[in-house]
Every structure is written in structure tokens, then in C-alpha cells.
Amino acid sequence: MSDHPTPSPNSGEQKPSYTPASPVKRALAWMGIVYMVILVLLTTYNMATGEPIHNIPGILLFPACGGLAAVCFLRWREIKKLPLLILGVLAAVACAVNLVTGVMSLVAALGG
């Protein structure tokens, strides 16, 4: 026999159900994770070399543009408004441009 009584199915106690986060919240959480990884890497480089990396705003802008694009696409999928689709496409293009220019600046800063 067990020391703890087992609740009967009709005792009124319900197990709390799991509700997953919405896709928008997950997209914003991933954006935050990317920002934290970037900040940790930049801070580590600064502490290791004693000098910060300059001219890399694209590295810091691309997560925000990517998060905006993801939110716009997710909202557009729900309500089908054309301005959200246009903003999502523009944000995705801005994300790609910022990533490419940021990586190019990063390579130039670390190589030279």
C-alpha cells in the first residue's frame, strides 16, 4: 500500500494543461537569443583583445529585422492584410542586406 492517497478521477483536482507559446512569442524569443549570442561574442572579443570591433551595425540590426519579418509573416498568415506582407518582405530584405554588410565589415575588421 502506498503512503499517499491517490486522487479519484472525480475529486475536482485537474492537472494543469500545457499551453505552448504562440509562434510570435517564439519568434521574438529566438530574436532575443540571437542578440544575446552576438553580445556575448562581441564582449568576449573586446575582453580578449582589449579593443572593440568597429563599423559593424549590420550585425546588430539583422536580428531586429529578422524578428520584424517573422512577426509580419505570422500576422499576415492569420489576417491576410497586404501591408503586413509588404512590410514582411521589406524587413526580410533588410535582414539579408544587414547580415551581408555586417559580416563583410566583421571580416574586414578582424582581417585587417
Coil, strand or helix at 5: coil
Greatest CA separation found in the chain?
74
pLDDT tens digits for range 59-92: 999 999 999 999 999 999 999 999 999 999 999 9
Separation CA 103–CA 45 (nearest Å) = 15
Domain definitions of the chain by residue range = 23-111
Q: Stretch 52-65: mean pLDDT, rounded?
A: 89
In this structure, the dihedral spanned by the alpha carbons of residues 72, 75, 81 and 87, taken in order and rounded to 10 degrees, is 0
Separation CA 54–CA 60 (nearest Å) = 12
Determine contact, residues 38/63, Cβ cutoff 8 Å: yes
Answer yes or no: pTM beyond 0.75. yes
Which of 13-17, 19-23, 37-41, 101-105 has the lowest average pLDDT?
13-17
